[in-house]
Amino acid sequence: MGIVSPGFFGRRRQGDPALPPGQYLTESFPVLSAGPTPRIAPEEWEFTITTETGQVHRWSWDEFLALKQDDVTQDIHCVTSWSKLGTSWRGVSLDTLFESVESDCEFTMAHSYGGYTTNVPLDDLLGGKAWIAHEFDGEALEPAHGGPARLLVPHLYFWKSAKWVRGLELLRQDEPGFWESNGYHMYGDPWREERYW
Amino acid sequence: MTDYLDGNAAAGPLSEFFAIDVTTARGRCLHCGRTDALATAQLYPNSHGLLLRCPGCTEILLRLVDTGDTVCLDLHGLSFVELHRD
């Protein structure tokens, strides 16, 4: 299928311990576009966490920015084979957002403006492993890269870091999201090359 | 500049599934009901797979993911596909 070209823009850095198997290093920040880019004004934006009982925890943009902010530097790995090392983000840890949330669920579905979904186990969002990021490299996150805010789960392939995220739904059982329902791996660990079913 | 190409460009990747050039067939969008040749759809090639979106409502008509060992085709956004013999 020649029209979709994995591994573009890259060069292999052999033996780099920060590079998962099958990945190439890029200095750019490729944009993978699956549809029209949503443009969400801050006054329209909200983020929700919905529990299995239907309880909705809700943050407006201003309430979200008033939460404790983390500055993190992370390597990111796209399933199309590029990796970008040492990327700088600012955002709110999911640990902070889940402080007031009570749930017995082990799984989540991330929902985005524009309709995209992706499934992530709750354990992979907690313990300092995931953020709702709204700045990249010291600047407001551009819409093309998921602004105003995206999920950032850097230890999984980057399709799990849902752009334009608007909420998390807690699930008792794991369910496939947008790409997971059509060929992509349910978990997506780059170090195990969990790209596809 | 748009992010997408004409659906014509999907003819090659889809030829693995269909005996005819399916982009010449007319498909009906499940979401808005628009019926048009698949060649007129919006093709987003720079994604994790090939996506055809309806030119009317931009909802997804078709997804194709090539995993190397398998090719996964999702047609749930098309309520029918019509081919004229002429």
Per residue in A131-169, pLDDT tens? Answer: 999 999 999 999 999 999 999 999 999 999 999 999 999
Q: Mean pLDDT, chain A, as a whole number?
A: 93
Q: Is the pLDDT of residue A197 over 60?
A: yes
The C-alpha of B64 sits at a distance from chain A's nearest C-alpha, in angstroms, of 8
* Rg, Å, chain A Cα set: 16
Structure pTM? 0.91
Interface list for B 7-36 with A (CB within 8 A): 9-10, 12-13, 16
Q: How far apart are CA B8 and CA B39, in angstroms?
A: 4
A31 burial via Cβ count (<10 Å: 0-12, 13-18, 19+): middle
What pLDDT is stored for residue B45 in this prediction? 77
Pick from B48, B63, B71: which is nearest to A159 by CB? B48
Q: Would you state the structure tokens that stand for residue A40, as one six-digit string?
A: 């969400």
User: Domain A69-192 sits in which CATH superfamily?
Assistant: Oxidoreductase, molybdopterin-binding domain (3.90.420.10)
**Distance between first and last Cα of chain A:** 18
ipTM over 0.90: no
Instruction: Give residue B79's pLDDT.
Output: 96
Instruction: Please state the rounded mean pLDDT for residues B62-83.
Output: 93
Q: What angle do CA B60, B64, B85 make, to 5 degrees?
A: 80
Max distance between CA atoms of chain A, in angstroms, equals 49
